[in-house]
Amino acid sequence: MTTLGNYINGERVASESGRTAPVFNPATGEKRLDVALSSADETRAAIANAQEAFKDWSATPPLSRARVMFKFKELLEQHADEIAELITLEHGKVFSDAKGELTRGLEVVEFACGIPHLQKGEHSLNVGRGVDSYSQMMPMGVVAGITPFNFPAMVPMWMFPVAIACGNTFVLKPSEKDPSVPLRLAELLTEAGLPNGVFNVVNGDKESVDVLLTDERIEAVSFVGSTPIAEYIYSTACAHGKRVQALGGAKNHMIVMPDADPEQVINSLMGAAYGSAGERCMAISVAVCVGDEVANHLVKDLQGAIAELKVGPGIGEAIESHMGPLVSRQHADKVIGYIDAGVEEGAELLVDGRNFVVTGNENGYFVGPTLFNHVKPGMRIYKEEIFGPVLAVVRVDSYEEALALINEHEYGNGTAIFTRDGDTARNFAANVQVGMIGINVPIPVPMAFHSFGGWKRSLFGPLHMHGPDGVRFYTRMKTITARWPTGLSAGPEFSMPTMK
């Protein structure tokens, strides 16, 4: 059985820790391979390697760095099917969704190709007589990324293309549930001409993570995952003097107004709630219907659409599935536990995804699409992030009540409203306390040239990911005020030079 190690100094290397974790195919339940769980010393060695590579890479002209990104983009396009298949085999999402994930990551690479412009800084001539002022956006040093299982290609590419393009070196600690894709990305970066040591992958668990959070050579840490872990990452890394962006959990609401287009609502909600089996931080898990009539029509139409949903393995079928399995047996059991809790707390279970079996894949980690009606704000299935194919329908009497529900929730990652009324939509965009907002768009993930991030307990740290915030996060500002001797008056100066 293959054991995946690390990627250090431009090549795959075996781990000597002696600890491993199994990696499964979620559609079959079969073990694919083992992944090493690196030791603290191995993690420190990767950091040392990145620190050594920083000396030359940080001095490399931005245009040369951009050319590596251009070549990396080309290689990603050439190997797109291969990478998407790896995603499906280890995460479980259907092949088309895996291709979409890779595309969204590739868009950040395209953004990073513009680094000669993005990292220019600013210049002011004659801020005082004969005095000029300018800024430089300097690379940080060695930076780290800690990424989740649900997007093994896209989320790392939210981080390292911008970080590397800015002149930093990078240590990635990916999820141990689907480690093959990050290692393949590392190989393609080397093929694209990235110098050895600039990008390193350390597979591991909390032992490796804690080194990245505390080692003095790490300047900044990026994280995506659950809120409890995000809070731990943020507090620990900040306590050790690091810059941190830690994206946490979500409970994304979608308001359905009485004037919304019913067909558009159903089509959007099906993909947003059940796409990728709900394992997305931007998934819609709560539909807030304004009025009982809206809710009654919605749940009836949803039940019909769910009946047509094809659930099965992500590849290898004559008819492609719409939704695949969850990533692990443990996570599937956790989601089923939430469905049990919803029933116990009195929500009306209209579609039950428990005991869902896919013929020919009886050992896969499948949970069927699940629909609850008459969900109340005090219930666990409303309050907590389930991270599975479970949609809760909540009924309210007015738009104002719907808005208040969202603003009172502890999470503020993404949200949406479906309406034909421009005044309502404009009010929603202005007053909802959420970082990413969709107007008749169910999953409002910003394009790569904008920045991704939520509010409240969905984000720890002031800067969002990729886009302009990504460049700001991975650089330090220097401001230089310069004057040359020509024409200087003699004698001491007791005023600011800009006062002359």
Do 278 and 174 fall into the same domain?
A: no
Closest residue by Cα to residue 223 from 278, 281, 274, 177 = 281
- Radius of gyration, alpha carbons of the chain: 25
Sheet holding 252-256, edge to edge: 348-351, 370-373, 390-396, 284-290, 252-256, 414-418, 436-439
CA–CA distance, 66 with 119 (Å, rounded to integer):
11
Do 379 and 271 fall into the same domain?
A: yes
Q: Can you tell me the mean pLDDT for 423-436? A: 98
Place of tokens 């350390």: 202
Q: Which domain holds residue 423?
A: 252-439
What pLDDT is stored for residue 249 in this prediction? 96
What pLDDT is stored for residue 1 in this prediction? 80
The structural domain count of the chain equals 2
Do 10 and 89 fall into the same domain?
A: yes
Do 242 and 282 fall into the same domain?
A: no
Does pLDDT of 482 surpass 60? yes
CA–CA distance, 364 with 126 (Å, rounded to integer):
68
Do 205 and 275 fall into the same domain?
A: no
Q: Which residues are catalytic?
A: 281
Do 217 and 363 fall into the same domain?
A: no
- Quick: pLDDT tens for 300-354: 999 999 999 999 999 876 568 999 999 999 999 999 999 999 999 999 999 999 9
What pLDDT is stored for residue 490 in this prediction? 57
CA–CA distance, 97 with 136 (Å, rounded to integer):
40
What pLDDT is stored for residue 487 in this prediction? 56
Does pLDDT of 474 surpass 70? yes
Do 242 and 295 fall into the same domain?
A: no
What's phi and psi for 423, nearest 5 deg? Answer: -65, -40
Indicate the pLDDT class of residue 40, thresholds 50, 70 and 90.
very high
- Quick: pLDDT tens for 383-402: 999 999 999 999 999 999 99
Strands (E), 140-208: 142-146, 169-173, 199-201
Specify if 496 maps to a domain.
no
Do 158 and 295 fall into the same domain?
A: no
Element (H or E) spanning 14, and its range?
none
CA–CA distance, 186 with 453 (Å, rounded to integer):
25
Q: Find the CATH number of the domain harbouring 264.
A: 3.40.309.10
Do 299 and 428 fall into the same domain?
A: yes
Do 228 and 343 fall into the same domain?
A: no
Specify if 138 maps to a domain.
yes
Q: By CB neighbour count within 10 A (0-12 exposed, 13-18 middle, 19+ buried), where does 41 fall?
A: exposed
Do 428 and 380 fall into the same domain?
A: yes
